[in-house]
Every structure is written in C-alpha cells, then in structure tokens.
Amino acid sequence: MANKGFLKLKNREFRWGERTYVMGIINLSPNSFSGDGLASVEAAIAQAQRMAEEGADILDIGGESTRPGAEPISIDEELKRVIPVIERLANRINLPLSVDSYKYEVASRALEAGVDILNDQWGLKKDPRLASLAAGKNVPLILMSNQRDIGGFDAVQKRDTALYTDPIAIILQSLKWSLETARNAGVPEENLIIDPGIGFGKHWRHDLEIIRRLDELQVLGKPILLGPSRKSFIKMVLDLPADDRVEGTAAAVAIGIAKGADIVRVHDVKQMVRICRMSDAIIRPAFK
C-alpha cells in the first residue's frame, strides 16, 4: 500500500493506513434520502455531541439533499441551514468539521464559521473555484466522483462501451481530472482526499463492484473516503428501508476497509466505530 502521509487537523493527526477514521453525517436537509434530516440547530448540536461521544473523528455538515431528483436549494437557504450549526459546533466540539457543499459562497462562509475541511460532491465540476479557496485557506479538499453530470453510467454506455464495462475506469478518469484541477489551483498534495461516490449516477450493481475493487483507486496515491451508509444499493440487495440498513452498511464498510478505505462516512457512528476497530485489528499492520 502506498504511503499517503498524514494530516494534522485541530491538534489531531490523521495517519493514513494506520487505522480507519469515521466521519459522522450531520444532515440538515428535510429531504434526505436516509430520513435523518434534522429540523433545528439544537437537534444538530445534540446529534453532533452524541457522535463525538460514540467515537467519530470528523463531523460532516450538509444542508442540501443528495437524493436523486432532489431540487437544488438556493445559496441563501443552504447558508441558513448550515452556518448556525457550524458556528455552534466550532466552539463546542473538539473535532474537525467538514462542510458538504459544492457552492463557493457556502464553502467560503463555512470556513469563516469554523469548518476545517471542504467536501465537494462534484469534484470541482460545478465550481472549480473551490480548489482556489481550499488552496488559499490551506484546508483539505475531498473530491468525489459524480456521474450525474453525464446522465449516469448508462449514458456513458451509449458513447463508450469500454468505459461502461469498467466502472472503475470512469471513476479514475473523473478523479484524475479533479486532482489535476486542484493541483493547478495550488492545493497541496497532503490536502487531497478522494471519494469514488457510491450512488451519484452509478447503477447499484456498479456500487457493489466499486467496493469490491476499491483497492484499484490506490494507484492515485490519496486517502480514500467511502460513503456507503444506508445507500440504495443496500436496499436492492436486502430490500430494507433506509433506517434499517445498518448491517448492510457494516458489511460494505468492513469490505471497504479491507480494500483500502481510510475514512468511512456514516450515519450510525456507534456501530461503525466498532466495525472499523475490529476490521483494523484484522487488516491494518500498524493497529494498536
């Protein structure tokens, strides 16, 4: 496994490869696919405190639904949802905070409010200025491979059968573009993190294949974030509603760790911290 170095955030060291880090999801959208949207600042603070107690390493705060077909919300509405929560958490919880947004204005305000990481679900395709923002503030930037801009993998099939039959090739192509865009804007190598984007324009069978072949992304030499939590591919396999997919998520997380995931983004922090710790004990040579 390639040496991916380490990252320092809020007096914490993230040493990639030594153990798996858990990112807890703080969802402030009422239209969440997973049914976990929070309606108030106080509810978000309470959930964040619980996740911190349960062992989360990072908290990821988002205000816009990623449900397929969900309408984008305005910048003002997204700011109204996320900034009060970030301001409160930045002074109350000693964990790095991430903002899940592809909008420059939201990301900029979130950094002013106290976030430590930018999480761009569009991998700079919607607004490349996020790279300059991350470079200027010297903060980590998570780059996700999102196929919704091309109409999903089915649209790729019509123009490039070779890529369609190899979903990892599509993801690698997408992430290479995102990484190069970030580098050209001056983002340091140690601040770049990649995410294959489970869901987000992929067929559910491709999601299974992505997890099975996650180790092929190691060629990029970057920490890998995996976000399988409660996703629809679990529904297709187990036929369960979003709030009853913890075992399916656990299986995906454990196999993802075996294939090289460095961070897992999850709703059920308590259970996934245990899954990560057990998986690390089996897999990670530096586990203590």
Active site residues: 231, 265
Provide the β-strand partners of residue 194: 143, 224
- DSSP letter at 26 equals E
Four-residue CA torsion sign, 211, 31, 48, 60: positive
Alpha helices by DSSP H, 114-166: 129-137, 153-159, 161-164
What is the Cα 251 distance to its own chain's centre?
18
- DSSP letter at 97 equals E
Cα separation, 198 vs 76, in Å, equals: 28
Burial of 148 (0-12, 13-18, 19+ CB in 10 A): middle
